[in-house]
Structure 1
Amino acid sequence: MKTYAFELSGEHETLPRSEALALVETNSTSFSEIAFMDQCLIVEAEDLDVDALGRRLAMTHRIIEVLAICNADLDALARSVSLLDLPRRKYMVRARRIKDATPPADAVEHEVGRVLFQKGYRADLSNPEMVLRAIITAGKIVIGREAACTDRNSFEARRPHLKPFFHPGVLMPRMARALINLTQVQSDEILLDPFAGTCGILIEACLIGIQGVGIEVQSRLVKGALCNLHGLECSLLIGDAKRLPFQESSIDAAVLDTPYGRSAKILADSKELLLKESIRELFRTIKPGRRMVIVADSPIEALLSNAGFRIIQKHTDRVHRSLTRQIFLCSR
């Protein structure tokens, strides 16, 4: 087994770790979590497909193959680096300090470079053959070789207001991708969003090779969302989430952001009835043992349990003073 460190983003307290673990589980033959420090998850994994994780992860900056973990002081760092058996390649070292952790990142970079220079290694900042990364967090320094780096900038280009069709109250792309990854849905499998809206969730699914299928009750939103889906392999239907047009146990996973807020339009006798019947339909159509993520603006544990779902995780996401999203990861 190899040891890997995930340099997590700080945009959410719990989702980055859960997203990374969900993908590690499905992209390795076996794994175990070794430690979780502030914005740093360390796992041991067998045959981990780091390239696949790098293409999918939304709330991780990079994945590092761990070479050493030491106390967060320069003497301990020097001792650890002096023991490393690295290939004779030109290198670059970069460190990231999490919050108020010490020592400073530039001091760590300088110390690693000093020790490696004494061992006969040569740095090359413009065209390195090997990138070394250090994470300074929670009284420790984690150092290793960069194994994968996520393209987080691409999510910025897909922000909702930059798409051809915009409607307020939608999930940001990184959040949508992270929720998809929590379901552990694989390439070429089917992911359903029965409240598709402007199709932000489905776009993120399609970009990683998942077959996105959306249901949206408002024809105006469907017409606009089709502009957002241009060039993507995705199915979008006008329909009712309370009466899904699918056979029993035919869907591999589902991610849905339920209607709430002033911009939401409820086409049902009540929002509670809409959620109750929609969740019941999702239980009917999702395959046994597979996962669903549902986002709501209030606790819905009873509705999920009564429909037959098992709640695996619950996360909260404070959007503003009057809205805190409740995020439920469930198993059919």
Structure 2
Amino acid sequence: MEIAVILSGEHKTLPPSEVKNLLEAENAKYRIKYHRDKLMTLEVQADKIPTLSRLAYTHEISQIISKTTPENLDKTIKSIPWERLIEGDFAVRAKKIEKIPIDSPIIEKKVGAMIKEGHPHFQVNLENPRTLIRLIIEKDKIFITKRLYKIDKKHFNSAKPHKRPFFYPGSMSPKLARCMVNLSGVREGERLLDPFCGTGGILIEAGIIGVKVIGADIDPKMIKGAEENLKYYGIRDYELIRADARSLKLEKPVKAIVTDPPYGISASTQGEKQEKLYREFLKTAKYNLQEDGRICIATPHYLQLENITDEFKIKEKHAIRMHKSLTRIIYTLEKSGGSYHCK
């Protein structure tokens, strides 16, 4: 099936990388046919598409019905067998990927009327249609699609750190936490460890999508708070351990380690101490990770993992500017011996 993925514009490299890593984790056969800014189109196995509903930096996933140009839109709409595609009531919505002089409400009304004219029995529902026909518009092309999944923005808003039962400053946003879980390649039913779990933000996002989670923290207050948060979000398959990440040794290795270790603002005084923390943690992480497992870790920009570890090879590296004095680096790491490439 050919699908269109409308990516968020929050970051240049994270959204497409999240899509690719998730499909690869599911052993899906796919081919990227087109990628420009916020739009990616792919040929992918139909049975693997539902897993994309767990993406963070994506707005929608749609089935591509047809591709056309603005000049040929009317002709294309009339040629489509809508009776095979529209179930129940429907609505038409347009999404402009770039700034172009096209009035979205006008084109939506026009295409909706054309579909209705050819199929008078179809019912229009502009509030909550069962079938949403999405027109994805670029300057020289229009993708006519049927929406399959809309990513739940409400969750990422309601799960913000300050809205959880237990809050501590400096917690990662749920959207970035979910993205890191996806970059790690962990699948539903597999095990994930966050050895610096804090208030449990990463564990929450992994648990919601059916991953078995293990959290560790040296601070007993964090362990208690993380448990409170996990229970609040209905996550039951978890294990919490009070432990120092540098000496933690699990009985059984996990598929993924996803974590956001603590760091200070000062690169000069804190940097040396933090480098030692990361180095010692990564040595232990190698013991706790399966041979085919992966680490996804956030670091401040002044800590370059390339210079800290030879236990792991860097698969990907993404920079996220937080403010003028801090950029976060999101690394994905694999055990040494694998291929080495940065994206």
Please give the per-residue CA displacement for 1:100-156, whole angstroms capped at 9, x wherever unaligned.
244232233133224324433545115644221112236432221111222121121
Which residue of the other structure, out of 62, 79, 82, is the alignment partner of 2:75? 79
- The question of whether the paired residues in 1 share the 8 Å contact of 2:134 and 2:145 is answered with yes
Which residue of the other structure, out of 62, 65, 73, is the alignment partner of 1:64? 62
Please give the per-residue CA displacement for 1:76-101, whole angstroms capped at 9, x wherever unaligned.
32233222222264421111223524
Deviation at 1:267, TM superposition (A): 11
Q: Which runs of 5+ in 1 are unaligned?
A: none
Q: Using the alignment, how far apart are the partners of 1:132 and 1:204 within structure 2?
A: 30
Select between 179-188 and 85-94 the one with higher mean Cα deviation.
85-94
Q: Using the alignment, how far apart are the partners of 1:183 and 1:232 within structure 2?
A: 20
TM-score, structure 2 normalization? 0.86
Partner of 2:124: 124
Q: Using the alignment, how far apart are the partners of 2:46 and 2:169 within structure 1?
A: 42
User: Aligned runs of 1:40-189 on 2, under 5 Å?
Assistant: 40-54=39-53, 56-71=54-69, 73=70, 75-87=71-83, 89=86, 90-120=89-119, 122-125=122-125, 128-137=129-138, 139-189=140-190
For 1:134, the aligned partner's letter is L
Partner of 1:240: 244
Asked if residue 37 in structure 1 is aligned to residue 36 in structure 2, the reply is yes
Deviation at 1:165, TM superposition (A): 1.4
Aligned residues: 324
Q: Secondary structure at the match of 1:87?
A: helix
Asked if residue 289 in structure 1 is aligned to residue 292 in structure 2, the reply is yes
Q: Which runs of 5+ in 2 are unaligned?
A: 336-343
- The question of whether the paired residues in 2 share the 8 Å contact of 1:40 and 1:137 is answered with no
For 1:318, the aligned partner's letter is R
Q: Percent identity?
A: 32
Please give the per-residue CA displacement for 1:170-202, whole angstroms capped at 9, x wherever unaligned.
110011011101112111211011111111000
Select between 114-123 and 100-109 the one with higher mean Cα deviation.
114-123
Please give the per-residue CA displacement for 1:220-257, whole angstroms capped at 9, x wherever unaligned.
3223222212242221111111112224x711001111
Partner of 2:274: 271
The runs of 4+ residues in structure 1 deviating greater than 6 Å are 266-269
Q: Secondary structure at the match of 1:252?
A: strand
Deviation at 1:269, TM superposition (A): 8.1
- The question of whether the paired residues in 1 share the 8 Å contact of 2:279 and 2:309 is answered with no
For 1:7, the aligned partner's letter is I
